[in-house]
Structure 1
Amino acid sequence: MFFPVSGLSLNPLIPVLIGFVLSFFCSMGGISGAFLLLPVQMSFLGFTTPSVSATNQLYNIVAIPSGVWRFYKEGRLITPLVRAVVIGTLPGVFIGAFVRITYMPDASMFKLFVGCVLLYIGIRMVRDLLGKKKSSVAPGQGTGRVEVLPSGYLEIRFLFQGQEYYVGAWGIMALSGVVGIIGGIYGIGGGAIIAPFFVSVFGLPVYTVAGAALMGTFITSVAGVIFYQGLALLYPEQAISPDWLLGILFGIGGFIGMYCGARTQKFVPERWIKWGLCLVIAWTAGHYILGYFFG
């Protein structure tokens, strides 16, 4: 099958399989898999134009709802946390999309940016892992529902397994604004960056933030795809709009994998999830950064 926007000729089952594998493992950490899907598209499929960022966000739109539904059904979707993430992230996504098209149309510079973002994500996750001797929640014990406590717009409070957690909404929104810019450039919606921050900086359990990170990524990805499609009208000389068919096929695989990953998460040790993601992140970041300077 030929995909005219990306210029790829692929068996349609290949993007479905790629989307399934990435989303299955990444969704267990509250990440859609888009942050790894983009390197796969660039390095293995040769899709490097700015439209790859929009295609990545289209994947999020199709793939994420199943995972969000699973977290909601299990009582692990914290609405005030989602609200703070979305309010902070949306403006940043628009800024990031404009920066990508205007200042990073070149594939080599964009790969360096991707490598630096991945390296930072990996360092944050490793620091968190080395700072804890064991997971805060044992495998099979992440089944408790989250009870959101009464709070205003400037604070988020909830109970999980008998322990109360508190975080200021302003801190979440400020972080989300920066994350939104990075995610808008990258094409990931921001969940891959903000989920590790929830755990390592704000001290929230990964079992409670995964749903909010995914939901925030879904909403900002919708906005990102619309914005990229609109910018395509202003920059007709560049390939900016998403490859709709390719993104939907990635998303179909991601939709199935996301649900399976969200259902499986509570049976997998938190540290295993994080270490697996760290290894993949480190390899990809090193490949792009070293490739830019020595390739």
Structure 2
Amino acid sequence: MLFAVSGVTTDPWIPPLVACAVSFFTSMGGISGAFLLLPFQMSVLGYTHPSVSATNQVYNIVAIPSGIYRYCKEGRMVWPLAWAVVLGTLPGVLIGALVRVTGLRDPHSFKLFAAAVLLYIAGKMVRDLSVSRHAAQPGPANAPEGTSTATVTRGSPATVTVTGCTLQRIAYTYQGETYTLPVAGVFLLCFIVGIIGGIYGIGGGAIIAPFLVTFFKLPVYTIAGAALMGTFVTSVAGVAFYTAIAPFYPHLSVAPDWFLGLLFGLGGMAGMYLGARCQKFVPAGVIKWMLVIIMAGTALKYILEFFA
């Protein structure tokens, strides 16, 4: 089957099947899976136009709501954190989208950029895994923001309770332990990450998940929903932006391939719902190591292709 906008020729069942498998695992870590679908589209399907970024974001729009619904239903959505992520990444994503169209049109250079992003995320996850045993220990009463301040209570409910939300900090409890984080720090980090995400075509919120776990010592079970919400909102803005500027680049494929993105999204919808439902039964370390291996392998492949 030929997809006219992207020029991709593939069987219509392949995009939803790949998206379902990818999103099932990545959604457990608060990542939509778009960062893995992009190299699949570029390397396997041969889709290297700038519009691949917008198509990736169409996938996010269709797929993510099912995962968000599941996290909300289970009481594991930290809404103040979700909106902080959205407000921080949104302007950055728009800047990144403009850079993608005006400064990174060459797919050869874009692959090297994608490899750098993937390696950086993988490195952050490895660091988080190396300190996870220490982060799990209860901190002192005057622990810095982003660290735990209470001992986990055996039998505590696996739901989130927001205990404080101001312009300075957000605080919530999960399984008897309290976590705090500075709003300004989250906003600045999300803005920077949003620029990278806008260039890479993953909405911005996707990359923020490992940063929240590493920098602010937050449990992956509580940030997944917020990160997905950030990815969803910023992806809507990203698709709107790419569509709006497409007429200014008539000789360049900028607008998304809606049908291809929809097929990816339908598969991702099923995968994210199942992933969000199963997340609490899977050790966080297993999820992170799996993502590290996939991201590092993809990045190394891109680096070898760049210097070949």
- Quick one: distance in 2 between partners of 1:117 and 1:192? 12
Q: Which runs of 5+ in 2 are unaligned?
A: 138-151
Per-residue CA deviations over 1:32-75 (Å, capped at 9, x if unaligned) read 00000000000111000000000000000000000000000011
Q: Contact 1:124–1:196 at 8 Å: present in 2 too?
A: yes
Distance 1:62 1:273, change over 3 A: same
Are the counterparts in 2 of residues 135 and 269 from structure 1 also a CA contact under 8 Å?
A: no
Does 2:102 match 1:88? no
Partner SS, residue 148 of structure 1: strand
State the distance in 2 between where 1:65 and 1:39 align: 23
Question: What are the ranges of 5 or more consecutive residues in structure 1 without an aligned counterpart?
Answer: none
1:236 matched to 2:243? The reply is no
Alignment partners' CA distance in 1, 2:80 and 2:135: 25
1:210 to 2:224 alignment: yes
* Residues 6 and 154 (structure 1), Cα distance of their counterparts in 2 relative to 1, 3 Å cut: same
Correspondence for 1:43: 43
Match of 1:268 among 282, 286, 300: 282
Q: What's 1:166 paired with?
A: 180
Tell me if structure 1 keeps the 8 A contact 2:171–2:180. yes
Query: Corresponding residue for 1:56?
Result: 56
Aligned to 1:4: 4
8 A contact 2:76–2:221 mirrored in 1: yes
1:116 aligns with 2:116: yes
Q: Which amino acid aligns with 1:195?
A: A
Q: Give the secondary-structure state (helix, strand or coil) at the position aligned to 2:90.
A: helix
Cα separation, 1, equivalents of 2:183 and 2:259: 38
Where does residue 128 of structure 2 map in the other structure? 128
Secondary structure at the counterpart of residue 132 of structure 1? helix
Whether the aligned pair in 1 keeps the contact of 2:10 and 2:45 (CA below 8 Å) is: no
Q: 1:220 aligns with which of 220, 228, 234?
A: 234
Alignment of 1:177-216 (within 5 A): 177-216=191-230
Classify 1:25/1:142 alpha carbon distance in 2 versus 1 (closer, same or farther; 3 Å).
Answer: farther
Q: Which residue of 2 aligns with 1:151?
A: 165
- Native 8 Å contact 1:134 1:271 kept in 2: no
**Hey, what's the Cα distance between the residues in 2 that align with 1:170 and 1:127?**
23
Question: Matched residues in 2 for 1:26 and 1:292: separation?
Answer: 26
- Alignment partner of 1:103 is 2:69: no
Counterpart CA distance in 2 for 1:114 and 1:151 is 35
Kept in 1, the 8 Å contact 2:89–2:205? The answer is no
Alpha-carbon shift at residue 192 of structure 1 (Å):
2.9
Number of aligned pairs?
292
**Do the aligned partners of residues 274 and 135 (structure 1) sit closer, same or farther apart at CA in structure 2, a change above 3 Å counting?**
farther
- Which stretch shifts more, 125-134 or 105-114? 125-134
Deviation at 1:23, TM superposition (A): 0.5
8 Å CA contact 1:142–1:266 kept in 2: the answer is no
Quick one: percent identity of the two aligned structures? 59
Q: CA deviation at 1:220?
A: 0.2
Deviations 1:143-176 (A, max 9, x none): 6110011321321110101111100111010001
SS in structure 2 at match of 1:150: strand
**Which structure is larger by alpha-carbon Rg, 1 or 2?**
2
Counterpart of 1:90, as a letter, is L
The farther-off stretch of 33-42 and 230-239 is 230-239
CA shift for structure 1 position 190: 1.7
The one-letter code sitting in structure 2 at the alignment partner of 1:170 is A
TM-score, length-scaled by structure 2: 0.92
Measured against aligned partners, the alpha-carbon deviations of 1:3-47 in whole angstroms (never above 9, x if no partner) come to 001111221111110110110010011100000000000011100
Q: Please report the TM-score for the alignment, with normalisation by the length of structure 1.
A: 0.96
